[in-house]
Amino acid sequence: MKRMAKQCKHPTCGEVCRRQPAPKKEPVAIKKVANSRKEAEKQYRQKAKKFRQEHPLCEIKSSVCTRKTQGVHHVKGRLGDLLLDEKYWKGACNACNSYVESHPVWAIENGHKISKFKPNV
């Protein structure tokens, strides 16, 4: 059996559609980092390097701790201005940083995680 084409419902077409197909658009690449964030990331790398040198020992001390600071843990997250706010930074080994992310209840109870949305009281 032959399939019949659907009749166009556009008022000016009748039985055969006379409208032009929409032109194909080229895909646009989405930036991985916004221009405004690039400058903050540059400042962060410099500040974080200095912070790691000043805090050589892990400050989280979870059950999987390797003791040596390998990065910066952001207690309140990295959103917006919190990326550069050293008040919420802790020196952390990679194992502890992962532990905090995978055990949020433990992290909140021990002061290693604070809600980024609640104001400090």
Q: Give residue 112's pLDDT.
A: 93
The pLDDT of residue 120: 61
Helices (H), ranges, the chain: 35-54, 94-102, 104-109
Amino acid 13: pLDDT: 73
Residue type, 77: G
User: pLDDT per position in the chain (121 positions), as tens?
Assistant: 555 556 677 777 767 777 777 788 999 999 898 888 999 999 999 999 999 999 999 999 999 999 999 999 999 999 888 999 999 999 999 999 999 999 999 999 999 999 877 766 5
Q: Where are the domains of the chain?
A: 39-109
Is the Cα torsion angle 38, 39, 40, 44 positive or negative in sign? positive
| Per-residue confidence (pLDDT) for residue 6, from 0 to 100 | 60
d(CA 82, CA 115) in angstroms, rounded, equals 12
Question: What are the strands, taking DSSP E only, across the chain?
Answer: 71-74, 89-92
- Return the pLDDT at 75: 94
CA distance 14 to 98: 64
